[in-house]
A = this chain, B = another copy of it.
Amino acid sequence: MNRPTLRDVAQAAGVHPATVSRALNPQTRQLVNADTAQRVLRTARSLGYRPNPFARTLKTARSATVGLVIPDLTNPLFPPIVRGLEDVLGTAGYGVWVVNTDNDEQREAAAIESLRARNVDGYVLATARLNHPLIDELAAENVPVLLVNRRTERADIPSVTPDDASGVALAMRHLVELGHRRIVHLAGPQSLSTGYQRLRAFRYALHDHGLPDAPELVVECESFTEDAGAKAVQRLLDDDVEFTAVLAGNDLLAVGCYDALEERGLSCPADVSVVGFNDTRFMDKLHPPLTTVRIPHYDIGAEAARLLLEGLNQPQRHARSVLLPLSLVVRASTAPPAPRTRAT
């Protein structure tokens, strides 16, 4: 026999389909006699009844799904975010459609379009650039939109992001306390809030510690990749810039830095201390294990889910943004600088 429908349950229980609907929905169960409700629930279970979500969505115009837009699932940053989001939204009865953009604007447009076609009830975007017209458009529609990990310039779009400024401050304090004075920042793309905020915080930190803001100590990388990190450090060494420590804009840049140092026969931390950002998987297995700022990625996803649920349940409510606290994980890649400034 085919999958039983609500009518089948109604027939078996000797009531009208509408009664079954009311009895099965916890929201409306009190509208129906307790005994009948019991009977309905039992027959539903005995028949192995499962509501058809498509029929429900067609009727209610709410799909109980949300869309998550990320650059690339194989970037180790995102799986924990996805799980945090799914775990919390799943409890609330929502499913999550995950789409990848590979940092390509066209693919992003197509991805968002595919979510639109699926009638998602809300959007979570991990692809925000500071200036991002597509997101502005989306936010103008009548659907909750939430940014994770990165933000846009616009303060009115709610977001869940790491407290980049505090993270950089932690890392810088650590380096300064170790005795470093010539600290390089491998800055991420300045079109991204993460890249931008971390550079900004770096400059603040220099000021706070009474260190000069020397322009040659900042390298802007075009992307958050190993390759960009390696190139940046190679350039610094080629230019004979003196430094004893590197604060990388993220872990991949730090890994690239490791590569460049090794290639030039420099040792970490003996010659150069390195700090990363994110504490992605296996950063503790590098050689040396990487000191890095830990971002609670799972919590970013979970908190995003909570905020989105608020927006879904009370659309009129004023949107909030959340900064999640970070912590510094000290490992062997940072140590006091060599007695004298490294001679290049």
Interface residues of A (CB under 8 A from B): 50-55, 57-58, 63, 72-74, 76, 78-80, 82-83, 86, 90, 95, 97-98, 100, 114, 116-119, 255, 258, 281-282, 285-287
Contacts and interface: CB of A to CB of B under 8 A. Distances in A.
B73 A83 contact: yes
Contacts of A287: 286-287
Contact of A54 (B57, B74, B98, B255): B57
A76 B283 CA distance: 14
Nearest to A63: B54
Contacts of A74: 76, 79-80, 83, 281
A95 B95 contact: no
Contact of A282 (B55, B73, B90, B282): B282
Contacts of A281: 74, 76, 282
Contact of A95 (B55, B97, B116, B286): B97
A332 to B, nearest CB: 11
A117 B50 contact: yes
Nearest to A298: B74
A290 to B, nearest CB: 10
B285 A255 contact: yes
A227 B74 CA distance: 24
Contact of A118 (B53, B82, B117, B255): B53
25 contacts: A52-B119, A53-B119, A54-B54, A54-B63, A54-B119, A55-B58, A73-B73, A73-B82, A73-B83, A74-B76, A74-B80, A74-B281, A76-B76, A76-B281, A78-B79, A83-B100, A86-B100, A90-B114, A95-B118, A255-B285, A281-B282, A282-B285, A285-B285, A286-B286, A286-B287
A65 to B, nearest CB: 9
Contacts of A72: 83
A262 to B, nearest CB: 10
A117 B53 contact: yes
Contacts of A117: 50-51, 53
Given A53-B118, A58-B58, A282-B286, 19 more contacts: A50-B117, A53-B117, A53-B119, A54-B58, A54-B63, A55-B58, A73-B73, A73-B79, A73-B82, A74-B80, A78-B79, A79-B79, A83-B100, A86-B100, A90-B114, A95-B118, A255-B282, A258-B285, A286-B286
Contacts of A73: 73, 79, 82-83
Q: Which 5 A-B pairs have the closest CB atoms?
A: A287-B287, A282-B282, A74-B79, A54-B57, A73-B79
A21 B114 CA distance: 20
A82 B118 CA distance: 19
A26 to B, nearest CB: 16
Contacts of A255: 282, 285
